[in-house]
Amino acid sequence: MKLPAQVTVVEVGPRDGLQNEPFFLETGLKAELINCLIEAGFKRIEATSFVRPEWIPQLRDAEEVLKLVGRPPGVRLSALVPNLKGYQRAVSSGIAEINMVVSASELHNRKNVNRSIEESLRDFARIAGAARGDGILVRGSVAVSFGCPYQGGVDPGKVIGLASALWDMGCCEVVLADTIGCANPVQVYRVVSAVLEKIPGICLAAHFHDTRGMGLANVLAALQAGVAVFDSSIGGLGGCPYAPGAPGNIATEDLVNMLAAMDVETGIDLTRVIKCADRLQRKGEKRLR
Please report the pLDDT score of residue 118 as a whole number: 97
User: Mind listing the pLDDT tens digit for each residue in 130-177?
Assistant: 999 999 999 999 999 999 999 999 999 999 999 999 999 999 999 999
Is the pLDDT assigned to residue 239 strictly greater than 70? no
d(CA 64, CA 41): 23
Please report the pLDDT score of residue 254 as a whole number: 96
Is the pLDDT assigned to residue 12 strictly greater than 70? yes
* Higher-confidence position of 219 and 212: 219
Please report the pLDDT score of residue 282 as a whole number: 75
* Chain mean position to CA 106: 20
Please report the pLDDT score of residue 288 as a whole number: 46
Using CB atoms within 10 A of its CB, is residue 185 exposed (0-12), middle (13-18) or buried (19+)?
Answer: middle
Point out the catalytic residue in the list 148, 171, 182, 240: 240
What is the pTM assigned to this prediction? 0.94
* Chain mean position to CA 240: 11
Mean per-residue pLDDT, 222-235: 97
Return all residues near 167 (Cβ < 8 A) that are at least 6 apart. 140, 174, 199, 202
Is the pLDDT assigned to residue 269 strictly greater than 90? yes
Rg of the chain in Å (alpha carbons) = 17
Query: Using an 8 Å Cβ cutoff, are 65 and 106 in contact?
Result: no
Q: Which range, of 46-55, 78-87, 100-109, 240-249, averages the lowest pLDDT?
A: 240-249
- Give the pLDDT band of residue 240 (cuts 50, 70, 90): low
Which class does domain 8-288 fall in?
alpha beta
- Give the pLDDT band of residue 289 (cuts 50, 70, 90): very low
Residues above pLDDT 70, as percent of the chain? 94
**3-class DSSP string for the chain:** CCCCCECEEEECHHHHHHHHCCCCCCHHHHHHHHHHHHHCCCCEEEEEECCCCCCCHHHCCHHHHHHCCCCCCCCEEEEECCCHHHHHHHHHCCCCEEEEEEECCHHHHHHHHCCCHHHHHHHHHHHHHHHHHHCCEEEEEEECCCCECCCECCCHHHHHHHHHHHHHCCCCEEEEEECCCCCCHHHHHHHHHHHHHHCCCCCEEEEEECCCCCHHHHHHHHHHHCCCEEEEEHHHCCCCCCCCCCCCECEHHHHHHHHHHCCCECCCCHHHHHHHHHHHHHHHHHHHC
Query: Using an 8 Å Cβ cutoff, are 228 and 7 in contact?
Result: yes
Mean per-residue pLDDT, 84-107: 96
- Give the pLDDT band of residue 253 (cuts 50, 70, 90): very high
Is the pLDDT assigned to residue 16 strictly greater than 80? yes
Please report the pLDDT score of residue 284 as a whole number: 60
Residue 171 is a catalytic residue: no
Query: Using an 8 Å Cβ cutoff, are 171 and 128 in contact?
Result: yes
User: Mind listing the pLDDT tens digit for each residue in 40-91?
Assistant: 999 999 999 999 998 899 999 999 999 999 899 999 999 999 999 999 999 9
CA nearest neighbour of 171 among 131, 199, 229, 226: 131
- Give the pLDDT band of residue 281 (cuts 50, 70, 90): confident
